[in-house]
Amino acid sequence: MLRFDAETARLLDAGYKGADIARRRKANVSALKPQFGQSIVDIGAGSGLLAHDLSQLVGDKGQIFAVDPSPEMRAAANKACSDRTNVRVLAGSAYDLPFAEGTLDGAVSLQVYEYLDDVPRALKEARRVLKKGGHLVIGDLHWDSHIWHADNYERMEQMLRIWDSHMVWRRLPAYLPAMLRDAGFTLEAIRPEICQDNDFRSDGLAKLMVQLISAYAVQNELATVAEVDEWKNEQERMAEEGRFFFAITHYVISAVR
């Protein structure tokens, strides 16, 4: 698994402020359709940017709960939401949400469920805390939709195989509709959001992934520093030569309790 330490939190904070992930947050918010005065939990809130966005839409009468198991990520969320009086950052996980049954209007999660060993259990826990008619919105990447151009495809495939080992589900959006129905939800909609980059933008998802994959590979001794540097340098060179191409599809799946 990827270690969500202080350095990871810093990388995520920088990347999450970029255009690609901001667009993914907006897609999740649009699917959730938050209303003034509602109470909503952000499951696996991470750096807190999604919670901050939601807090502006529910207003002072509403409440956003940013729940995360990592102390480092909760610290980042507290910092990001320090100007919002209607956000509470709480310890908890997708398996153990700190709320009574049937108390929340909505629940949302951005790229969290693909890391869970027991997604059905987490879906039942989300359903438990929602009111009847409450909405659950889950946004995750389908990694089989991934296209990443390279001169050395063997090395690229090696790096992506390494990255695969940090997650539990690489095709989660394909499984979620049936899982949601089994957990007692009514499926509402599935919306794709394509992240595409042919410039290797400094605020893009590709740039963030290069940083995270490199750190993960070296920390876990799955690749040498030299191998990682060669991979990164190739991508920089391709961008300089106008040959960079990256694309992946983020799916936003909404359901009703």
* Residue type for position 93: S
- pLDDT score for 5: 57
Q: State the residue for tokens 């610290």.
A: 75
% of the chain residues with pLDDT over 70: 94
For 6-142+168-196+249-256, CATH number? 3.40.50.150
pLDDT of residue 110 exceeding 60: yes
- Contact residues for 241 (Cβ-Cβ < 8 A; gap 6+): none
* Residue type for position 78: N
- pLDDT score for 107: 98
- pLDDT score for 63: 98
pLDDT of residue 7 exceeding 80: no
% of the chain residues with pLDDT over 90: 84
* Residue 179: half-sphere exposure toward Cβ, Cα within 13 Å: 20
CB 105 within 8 A of CB 35: yes
Helix (H) or strand (E) holding 217: helix 205-219
* Residue scoring higher pLDDT (116 or 12): 116
Confidence of residue 202 (pLDDT cuts 50, 70, 90): confident
pLDDT digits (tens, 9 = 90+) for 139-188: 999 999 999 999 999 999 999 999 999 899 999 999 999 999 999 999 99
Mean predicted confidence (pLDDT) in 117-145: 97
Among candidates 31, 37, 67, 49, which has minimal Cα distance to 191?
31
- Secondary structure (DSSP) of 38-95: -EEEEET-TTSHHHHHHHHHH-TTSEEEEEES-HHHHHHHHHHTTT-TTEEEEE-BTT
- pLDDT score for 1: 54
* Residue type for position 21: I
pLDDT of residue 213 exceeding 90: yes
Tell me the domain boundaries of the chain: 6-142+168-196+249-256
Mean predicted confidence (pLDDT) in 30-49: 96
Among candidates 237, 95, 71, which has minimal Cα distance to 152?
237
- pLDDT score for 19: 81
